[in-house]
Amino acid sequence: MSDQNHETMSIDPNVDPYGYLGMVRNSDGSITRLQKPLVPIDTSNDLSHLVVTKDITINSSKNTWARIILPRELLHSTTSTPKLPLVIYFHGGGFIVATVDSPSFQGLYASIASEVPAVVVSIEYRQAPEHRLPAAYDDCMEALHWIKNKPDELLSNHADFSKCFLMGTSAGGNVVYHVGLCAAESCDNLKPLEIKGLILNQPFFGGSERTQSEVRLANDKVLPPIISDIMWDLGLPEGANRDHEYSNPMVGIESNPNLLDQVKLLGWKMLVTGCDGDPLIDRQVDLVNVLKELGVQVEGSFTQGFYHGSEIIDPLKAKEFSLLVKELISHF
């Protein structure tokens, strides 16, 4: 590890939040990106040998693309194998950092693909503040229409388009929620893609008023509220606060009590995961409770300890999460 990398990883987000994110805030409010922020990676259980990957452009004008990940054994099987469920994954990073290619996500892709097993397609979307929300939602919705046309033989040969699940971690979980709502309203236009469920892994939500878990974990070393605030400040539409519906799902539900009707009508299942070492847990639990009250088929899986993003850092947590996903998918 270089001295520069070591220095970046040791930055306290509560002391130098912009440095922690690999950027500098300029006097005019703009930012300058210095380098990609680093997440410590545990390579002791590398699963890359279990999968095959392929990158394909979605929209060159937006520089959006996708990575297809599938079990290696599929391509080496000497017998005919059934098609696998299709998991469309949206990565995290608070809408402002990280990409499909970030090392921290590769282990989770491989774990999902090999443990479920499934064909995983991870979507690269545009980042804020250069492209504020709803750009990420628009890009991911465009990706669904791109996938439905089976743009590659790996998808047409090995993915079961009738068993599709949208999954995302952190900001990607937020994307799953909003893109899922949009997809539910236009499901006929997405065929032969048939979405069966939405999987929100430690979803990134916010609000102007601090929750108890945000107060309790105000000095968290992974995602303290000060970092979330910056992410929302850079990610939301100009002039919006954290009670915008993009960040606070309760606002959207309160303004439109029928918002989830189509999700219920389609019979989609939802899984929301979290842990009490994550400042965001109260928002995640509240969302599950409200969705249950609305009659949505939703399950919350919340554990003690750990931290935000544990599934993309800890291989054992990645496997544990993959088995949760496998259990959900097995019902279809």
Residues taking part in catalysis = 170, 278, 308
For residue 203, give the nearest of 317, 311, 319, 69 by alpha carbon. Answer: 311
Beta strands in 159-281 (DSSP E): 159-169, 195-201, 269-275
Neighbour count for residue 181 (Cβ, 10 Å): 18
Neighbour count for residue 29 (Cβ, 10 Å): 9
Alpha carbon 284 to its chain's center: 14
Radius of gyration of the chain (CA): 19
Rounded CA-CA distance 18/13 in Å is 8
Whether 308 and 280 have beta carbons less than 8 Å apart is answered as yes
Rounded CA-CA distance 8/3 in Å is 9
Q: Is 296 helix (H, G, I), strand (E, B) or coil?
A: coil
Strand order from edge to edge, sheet including 51-59? 51-59, 64-71, 119-124, 84-90, 159-169, 195-201, 269-275, 297-303
- The residues that bridge with 56 in the sheet, in sequence order, are 66
Return the residue matching tokens 């799953």.
Answer: 176
Rounded CA-CA distance 158/81 in Å is 8
Alpha carbon 119 to its chain's center: 16
